[in-house]
Each structure stands twice: as structure tokens, then as C-alpha cells.
Amino acid sequence: MTLPVSRDYPQSLADQLDRVLAQMPEPSGGPAVGQLEHALAEAFHVPHAIAVSSGTEALHAALSACGIGQGDEVLVPALSVVMTVAPLAALGATPVFVDSEPATLDIDYDDAARKITPRTRAILPVHLWGRMGDPAALTAFASEHDLVIIEDAAQAVGSSRDERAAGTIGAIGCFSMKDGKIVWSGEGGFLLTDRRDLAEHAVAFRSHWQPAPSGQASLSRLATNSRLAAPLAAIALANVHRLEELVLLRRAQTRHLLHTLRPVPGLTVLAPAADEHWNAFSPLLRVDLPGARTFTEHLAKQGVPNSTGSFRLVPCDTRPMFPRQDRPCRGAAQILDRTLAILLTERDTVATLDRYAAVITREATTWAG
Ligand SMILES: *Cc1c(COP(=O)(O)O)cnc(C)c1O
């Protein structure tokens, strides 16, 4: 077994960085961010890609561009991370957590429909672990209730379903390039949109409203600084050039690990839907062992990093900073209590994956809860 790793990459990364460093300091920022945005727009076949300093800031700019603010309610899966929710709370909007279906990980649209009020403005699906819900169900729900769709596709670079790429279904798709995501630059993020007005708003928002959107004056509104620094844009550009390779590598890593684990009792591979072209962000297994969550925490201590065990990922509606809702999201809780989602990076070799598989097999076989 060998993994598909590119050889010329370190050189192209060093070349990109050298070029940018030779131009610094450059108060205007130089051309690196524009080049990255051009490459992103081409890679995703969209008219506008805007680079920002993080995935959180991509969501912040996107929500602002869609006019989300004080008093607005935004439907967001409880099966998400706080980084999804913090930007909408920062804009004065209220997150309304919706449940997910344990069998598919998709949004529970019956629950979402129950939670619609006259203040509901947007739905913010989160493609956690790169898995995508049904795009047709999402767009039908949004149009029935007149909601704008903003996607959190931070983990979903390279995923598509029914021929629709994650991050290109809604009005805006938001991505992170923090190390740990498939396309990385240390820190960073970007958003994609078809709409010029939303793109112009995001460009203004990330840089204290300059340049301002068409027809508006520069600095006529308060915004923030969420610009991506040129050296990080250079790293990101080198990685966007091998985006397909990075996704193929992740798929090969996940396939190898899941294949090695298949016969372990108490662990079942969570397969994507038939029409889903999954980026394989995290090898996913359902844990049917007693004390499943304690088992994932135990694996983390044994050197197998994973979402629930290493990061204590819990449904967002149970976090202390949000007021308790009438209906707890039980599906999301069930998913997070029972899913082993292994964290990978492109550095993980066959030897690393085999070590993870050996530890998981050994611990699952002897686990009594
Ligand atoms: C990483 C991540 C974010 C936040 O991205 P940052 O670049 O860390 O700000 C948001 N949502 C999800 C699902 C993520 O995985």
C-alpha cells in the first residue's frame, strides 16, 4: 500500500513563499491574495472567491453580507462546532439549534420546520466531517420558508452530492484553511458566492469597509480586519494548486484505515449516501460498545486523535453559553456519543494509519466499558 503524495510540492511552496517575502513589506498587501482568490474561483467554478483570515471570519463576513443581524434567528444544526455559531452571535443574531438524523447525519427537517418563527432568516448547514446532507431537501426547505442558505463547508473541500459541490449550494459557502483542514495555510479561510453584491460586501467587511461596495462610500460603515496575510495566501495558493491531490490522498488514507478496521466487533463503518462523493475528511465509525464516548476518550489517550475523544465535541445546544431550548437535540447527541471520527493530516503515513488501526482493534476487543 502506498499513498499518492506529490514530490514537487515542497519546492513549489518554497518558491511561492520566496516570491512573497521578496515583495514584503508591502502595505497594499501585494498580489498574493488576489492570485489565491483567482485560483479558488477557478477550482470551484464560481465567479467570486474572497480570502479571509479564518473560517470563523468567512462565516462572519457571509452572515453580514446576507444582512443577518440583531433580532434575526438562524437555524443551525446542534451537530456543529462553536466556531459556526460565534459569528452569528457576534452580529446580534440568535442561533436556533436543529436536530440531525442519526442514520444519515442530515438535518432533521421536521425539527427545523417546528422551529421556524417570523424572525427566522437563514439556515446554516454544517458539513461536519465532510459529510453532506441532501442538497435538494436543503434548497426545498429554504425556499419554502424563504430562508437564505449559508454553508459551513470548513471540513468539506472536495465533497459533493448529486453533482453539487459543498459550499456552492447556498448563497455563500464558507471554508477554513486552518491546519487540520484538507487545504491548509496555518490559519485562513475563504468564501465562495455567485453574487457580486455579496462578494463586494465581504471584501468591504474584511477590511474596514474599504473598498466599499458599488455605490457606497469608503469607510462609511464599521467593519473589521479579517484580511489574510500575504505569506499565508502564498501557502494557500500552493495547496490550492494540489487540491485534487490532497483530496485523493485523504480518500486513500481513510479507505486504508477503514479497510484495516472492518472486522472489529462493536465498530461499524459509517458509509456516505449513494449519491454522495465524500472527501473522506475523517474515517467515521459507529461505536456500539458500552460507554462509547468514554471509549473514544480512551482512544485519544492511547494516541488515536478523534473529534469526540480529543475535543470533547458535544451538541452545541448543550453548551453553557446558549440558553436551554425546549427540545434538546437528541439525534445530535446520539451521533456525537457514538461516532468515532479519526483526525487525519496529510502527514499521516501508512505506518501511522496502521498504528491507529492496531490500537483501535486492540482496545475495542478488550473494552468492557
Ligand atoms: C475549523 C472549522 C471552523 C472554523 O474555522 P477557523 O479557521 O478555525 O476559524 C468552522 N466550522 C467548522 C465545521 C470547522 O471545522
Residue in the block written with cell 458535544: 314
Confidence band, pLDDT 50/70/90 cuts, at residue 34 = very high
76, 126, 131, 152, best to mutate for ligand 1 pocket (most atoms within 8 Å of CB): 152
Q: Give yes or no for residue 10 having a pLDDT over 80.
A: no
CA 28 – ligand 1 centroid, Å: 27
Output the ligand 1 site: residues, CB below 6 A: 54-56, 81, 83-84, 126, 128, 152, 154-155, 176, 178, 189
Q: What is the pLDDT of residues 131-145, one digit of tens each?
A: 999 999 999 999 999
Q: Give yes or no for residue 156 having a pLDDT over 70.
A: yes
Q: What element of type H or E holds 350? A: helix 350-366
Domain ranges of the chain: 9-240, 243-366
Dihedral (Cα; 291, 295, 301, 306), 10-degree rounding: -120
Distance CA(118)–CA(273), nearest Å, equals 33
Q: What is the pTM of this model?
A: 0.97
Backbone Cα Rg of the chain: 21
Q: Which residue, 141, 135, 81, is CA-closest to 109? A: 141
Share of the chain above pLDDT 90, in %: 92
Fold designation for 243-366: Aspartate Aminotransferase, domain 1 (3.90.1150)
The ligand 1 atom at the shortest distance from the C-alpha of residue 80 is 13
Q: Give yes or no for residue 271 having a pLDDT over 90.
A: yes
- The structural architecture, per CATH, of the domain 9-240 is 3-Layer(aba) Sandwich (3.40)
